[in-house]
Amino acid sequence: EIDETAIGRLGDRPTLDDVTKWAASLRGQFLLILWFERIRRAFVIVDRTSSMPVYWRRDGDTVLVSPRTLTLAEANPHGLTVRRTAIYEFMGSGHLWGDGTYWNEIHRVGPGRVLCLDGSKVTCLPYWEMRVEPTLRSWSQASDALTRAIDSDMSALPEGKAILTLSGGYDSRALLGLLHRAGRDFETISYSFGDQFAQGYDLEVGTHFAKKLGVTHHVYHADVFNSERVIRDFENCVRITGGETDAVTAQDAFLGEGFYREMNRRYACVLRGDEVWGWGDRVLSTRMALWQTLLFTLDQITGPRRLLQPRAFEEGMAELHRRHEDMLKEASIRDVNMLKDYLYWRHRESRLIQNLRQYCRAFVPHYAPFLFGEALDVVRRLPTPMRSRKRLFIRTMEATFPELFVTDVAPTKMTPIKSRFHVLYEQPAYKDYLRHVLLDDPPKGWFEMFDRDAFERWLVETTAPPAEVKIRADRGYDLGRKAYDLLRRNEWFLGATMAIGVKTRRLRFPTRSVTYLNRLLTLASALKAAERM
């Protein structure tokens, strides 16, 4: 716990180095702002995965700090300039990278960082990073260490009745077992964001495991047939999160404010199995490490080349290559698998966790115990074979809860027969909304970047009747996923194949047009929100 006694250890004249060392001892999800009157200095401290956002900007000789970018934008809207590289980052990955925002003047305080405000001087330093130093060589030793760390993190959860979001994946299943073993007062919930499934859809996976332990389970189906409600919650998501990732508008907007307010009425907090156990498959090159963390250039996914003006496409390619070089220089890690996990934590996972939970947390407290700190420190001490594909975590949980992992035959997750976007794009009111935001009244300079005619043709095609869109677009997507699943059976063969594909620039990540349209809607809405200030 962080109280006056803990803060008192800093004294009344701490240096930045003092605060950085002190911050390294903290655990949990937190955002601290400390003011020391004697030295007229403030420190802003963000937890290890930046689960609670904070941004800053200069306004003359004053430095402004806020948890929302649009609040800082509103302070001096005429002093903002759009960071074009951010637009290309978002188009490539569906989220912003590093600590940048959509504006050159507004900056994010990244994960595990301390921001020092000394008059008009601003300094930002890390106190914790996902820099792997393998010391746990024995599988049994590592498993014991991870078990103790997880138990310690779980003990830090607050009291009160909780609701666990249960997808049926390894992380939420493990959290289900841990909460049940600890005798916690909790229930579980699985939800659909509006997708329509055939028999045996993925909600049944969560239901299956909750019933095995006799835990109360709820199923929530988001209503996507009320386009006015979806639009209202979509715009609310953008206002709260700044529109920095399309994941929040593809999920939370469909659940909506009403859902989270109901969770707040019935429960003390929401629990999730968010984690950073180790990301993806083994990689064999630097370029593949960037690919695996989904930090794509514009030619590595389907979509941007078709929609952008040729000059904007080339500019975007050059900017993102420059960003990649900056990332690699900042990381300064030679081992490509250690680099991959650092990049994932620093430039992808921390932004997704921050923005997705930011919307939820606006209405109900939210916790992810696997990110509290103890387990993260164990992950930093694991060699690649234990981190890759989350092997150590999975083995440990299989041994701890065999009834949830080893001896089970559960329903298999399925691709929806009609996605939430297919359902939404059938509605005339939502089609009109898309056309208004993206074609009739887009952000300033929108069609200096995009080819208007190509964009309009693509919009019409993408919002065509779902059966036509799915037959045409999903075939390529599904083939790509099947090929990946086949190659993934052999980790080294997959690594070599993908490394060659990335090097020769023949590998393309299959993006669905119906979801990519939501990405561009999020981007345009974020830029328009600042213009309305």
| pLDDT tens digits, one per residue of 220-262 | 989 999 999 999 999 999 999 999 999 999 999 999 999 999 9
What pLDDT sits at residue 496? 75
What pLDDT sits at residue 241? 95
What residues form DSSP beta bridges with 65?
56
Orientation of helix 227-241 relative to helix 428-435, angle to 10°: 40
529-to-31, 102, 232, 466 alpha-carbon distances in Å: 26, 11, 14, 30
How sure is the predictor about 415, in pLDDT bands with cuts at 50, 70 and 90? low
- Tell me if 353 sits within 8 A of 335, measured CB to CB: no
How sure is the predictor about 412, in pLDDT bands with cuts at 50, 70 and 90? low
What pLDDT sits at residue 226? 93
Residue 277 to residue 386: CA distance in whole angstroms:
9
What values do phi and psi take at 443, rounded to 5? -65, 160
How sure is the predictor about 200, in pLDDT bands with cuts at 50, 70 and 90? very low
- Tell me if 479 sits within 8 A of 440, measured CB to CB: no
What pLDDT sits at residue 195? 74
Strands (E), 418-501: none
pLDDT of 208 higher than 60: yes
What pLDDT sits at residue 471? 47
Tens digit of each residue's pLDDT (9 = 90 or more) over 475-513 = 555 666 666 666 666 777 777 777 777 777 777 777 889
HSE (side-chain half, CA atoms, 13 Å) at 153: 27
Tens digit of each residue's pLDDT (9 = 90 or more) over 316-366 = 999 999 999 999 999 999 999 999 999 999 999 999 989 988 999 999 999
Q: What is the pTM of this model?
A: 0.92
- The alpha-helical segments, DSSP class H, found in 107-202 are 139-155, 170-181
* 3-state DSSP assignment of residue 417: coil
Long-range Cβ contacts of 29-32 (<8 Å, 24+ apart)? 29/367, 29/368, 29/371, 29/372, 30/2, 31/67, 32/2
Tens digit of each residue's pLDDT (9 = 90 or more) over 74-99 = 988 888 999 999 999 999 999 999 99
